[in-house]
Amino acid sequence: MAELPNCLMIVTAEVDPAVEAEWNRWYDAVHVPDVLACPGVVSGRRYLAAGDVSESDHGQRTTHQRRLYTTVYELESPAATQTPQFLAMRGWAHFAPHVRSQTRVVLPNAR
């Protein structure tokens, strides 16, 4: 079995359909390369859940039709998110008003 990464950063975003195509072009051509150029960022890959997305809040489960983008980055450590380069490029640029929901979590390996 391959060894698990030291640290992951998982980012999700739901984007207004009116800007989704432009946002995807920017995300692929600008944002991901900027993140990958930061010290301590090893790799990244994007995913899309399109259709039923299940959510739970205080034990109540709901299902909604959504297009939820998820990017999983492998980091050397959580410190990669605190470098000057990372802090300078972080954010959604001019798309921020069009991001309806987002999450970001940094997960160090628990070993």
Fold of 7-108: Alpha-Beta Plaits (3.30.70)
pLDDT, residue 110, reads 79
Q: Is the pLDDT of residue 1 over 60?
A: no
Q: pTM of the entire structure? A: 0.88
Is residue 105 within 8 A of residue 10, CB to CB? The reply is yes
The two three-digit tokens of residue 20, written as one number: 């989704």
Instruction: Write the CB contacts of 96 (distance below 8 Å, at least 6 apart in sequence).
Output: none
Model confidence pLDDT, tens digit, residues 82-111: 999 999 988 888 999 999 889 999 999 876
Nearest to 49 by CA among 5, 94, 10, 78: 10
The two three-digit tokens of residue 85, written as one number: 């380069």
